[in-house]
Amino acid sequence: MLETPSHTRSAVPALADIEAARAVVSRVAQTTPLETSRYLAEVLGSDVLLKLENLQRTGSYKIRGAYNRMSRLSDEEKARGVVAASAGNHAQGVAFAARELGIKATIFMPLGVALPKLQATRDYGADVLLRGHTVEEPLAAAAEYAATTGAVLIPPFDHPDVIVGQGTLGLEIWEQAPAFDTIIVPIGGGGLISGVASAIKQRAAAEGREVRVIGVQAANAAAYPTSLAMGEPTKISTSATIADGIAVAKPGILNFEIIRELVDEIVLVTEADIARAILVLLERAKLVVEPAGAVGVAAILSGQLGELGTTVVVLSGGNIDPLLMQRVISNGLAASDRYLKLKIMLPDRPGQLARTAEIVAEANANVIEVLHTRHGRGLQLSEVELELSVETRGPEHRAEVIARLRDAGYDARLAQD
C-alpha cells in the first residue's frame, strides 16, 4: 500500500498495486467502451478516442476508488459505517459501494445539490444529510461526524487506496486502445489523473514507450497551476463554474506529488469552452456528459493543444441535472455562434416588429424569443426597443443575419455589447 511521500520515496503507487486493485474493482465496475470520434479527430488533426466513463455504474469513475478503499476496511471498521461528503459523484460512488459491501453509509451534501444526484444517492441506500451551500461545509460536517461516531471517513481523492482504485481505469484504457501518444484527463482534487497517470506511465515505461499525460481544469477553479508554481498544495479562491465536479480549491497532498512527477501539462478551459464541448458530445457523439467530464473535449475545441498524435480523452462522468443541461445547451449554442441575441431600436409605428421578423426569416434563421418594450432606459418617446433571440447555423450565418438587418436600415447590435 502507498505510503505518505517523502523526499526519498516517490508517491507514485506501484503498478502491481494497481493491477491487484483491478481484480477488486472489477466486481462492481463495468469495462466502459472506448470509441473513436471522427469529428474531434478533424479538429485535433489526429485520431481521438473517447473513454466513456459517463456510462459507468453510478454515472462516473468514482465507484472505482470508493469501492477499492472500502473493500480494504477491516470488519471492525465496516461495522462502524462510513461517512463522506460530496456534491454528487463521490456521494453516489460511496453509497453504491457501501450497499454492495453491506456497510452503513452517511453522506453529507450541500443544500443546493441537484435533485437527481440527491435522489440517486438515497436510492443506493445511504442516509443523506444536507449541510451548507458549498462543498467545504459538508466536508467539515463529515469530518465532525467521523470524529464523534467513529464512522470511517472516505475521502474523494487524497488517499492511497482511492488513487490506486482510480488507476484501474488507466489499465483498462491501456488494454483497449491501440498505441496512443497522449491521454487527456479532467482534474479536480487530482485523484483520477493521479491513478491514471501512474498506471499509464509505468506501463509505457515497461514497453519502452512514451505517453504524454495532459490534465484539464476549469479556469474558474484551477488550483493546480498555482500550487505547482508555489511548490506545494495551495488553496485558491474559486469562482462559480458549471464543472462543479472538479471545483476543488486545494489539491490533495498525495495527488499533488504524483501530478508534479508524472503529468506533462495542465491546461485551463473556460465556461464557454465547456458548454460547447457538452453540445458537441450531444450532437456528434450522442453522449450525455456532465461539465466536469467534458473538459478534455473542451481543451481540444479551445484550440490551445498542439500536435498530440493519437489521443485518448477520458469522459469522467455523465451525471448532469436536466435543468443545468437546458442552460448549458443554450450557452453552448451561443459559444458556437448558433444562438444570437440582438437589440434593435425601432420607430414606434405599426409593422416594424413584423418587418424585422420577416428579414430574419428571409435569411433562413429562426426567431425563438422576442422582447418588445417602450420603457427601456435611454429610449426616446418615439422609439421602442426590440430584443430578438435568434437561432443560426454558425458564424457565417450569424453575420449574414446581422448584415441583412443593417442593410435594411436597422441598428442591430449584439445584446451583450
Shared-domain flag, residues 263 and 188? yes
Shared-domain flag, residues 174 and 263? yes
* CB neighbour burial string for 46-56, b if at least 16 within 10 angstroms, e if fewer: bbbbbbbbbbb
CB neighbours of residue 161 within 10 Å: 24
Q: 310: domain range?
A: 15-59+160-333
Could you give the residue numbers annotated as active site? 62, 316
| Cα 122 from Cα 330, distance rounded (Å) | 30
What's the whole-model pTM score? 0.85
In a domain, 3, yes or no: no
pLDDT tens, residue order, the chain (417 aa):
334 444 447 899 999 999 999 999 999 999 999 999 999 999 999 999 999 999 999 999 999 999 999 999 999 999 999 999 998 899 999 999 999 999 999 999 988 888 888 999 999 999 999 998 877 789 899 999 999 999 999 999 999 999 999 999 999 999 999 899 999 999 999 999 999 999 999 999 999 999 999 999 999 999 999 999 999 999 999 898 989 889 889 999 999 999 999 999 999 999 999 999 999 999 999 999 999 999 999 999 999 998 999 999 999 999 998 888 888 887 777 777 778 888 888 887 788 888 888 988 898 888 888 887 766 555 566 678 888 888 888 888 888 988 998 998 888 888 764
Shared-domain flag, residues 200 and 284? yes
| Cα 131 from Cα 144, distance rounded (Å) | 12
Helix (H, G, I), strand (E, B) or coil at 9: coil
Shared-domain flag, residues 26 and 134? no
| Cα 257 from Cα 5, distance rounded (Å) | 7
| Cα 316 from Cα 202, distance rounded (Å) | 21
Shared-domain flag, residues 281 and 186? yes
Domain count, the chain: 3
Cβ-based neighbours of 412, under 8 Å, separated by 6 or more: 342, 343, 344, 402, 405, 406
> DSSP readout, 90-128?
HHHHHHHHHHHHT--EEEEE-TT--HHHHHHHHHTT-EE
Name the nearest CA neighbour of 342 among 408, 274, 276, 270. Answer: 408
| Cα 180 from Cα 170, distance rounded (Å) | 12
Q: What is the 3-state composition of the chain as percent helix, strand, coil, each rounded to the nearest 5?
A: 45, 20, 35
Shared-domain flag, residues 20 and 87? no
CB neighbours of residue 44 within 10 Å: 23
Q: Decide which of 286, 301, 333 is a domain's last residue.
A: 333
Cell numbers describing residue 394: 454558425
Residue linked to cell 498542439 = 306
Q: The domain that contains 351 carries what CATH number?
A: 3.30.70.260
Shared-domain flag, residues 190 and 315? yes
Q: The domain that contains 127 carries what CATH number?
A: 3.40.50.1100
Q: Report the amino acid identity of residue 366.
A: N
Which sign does the torsion angle of CA 68, 74, 78, 82 carry? Answer: negative
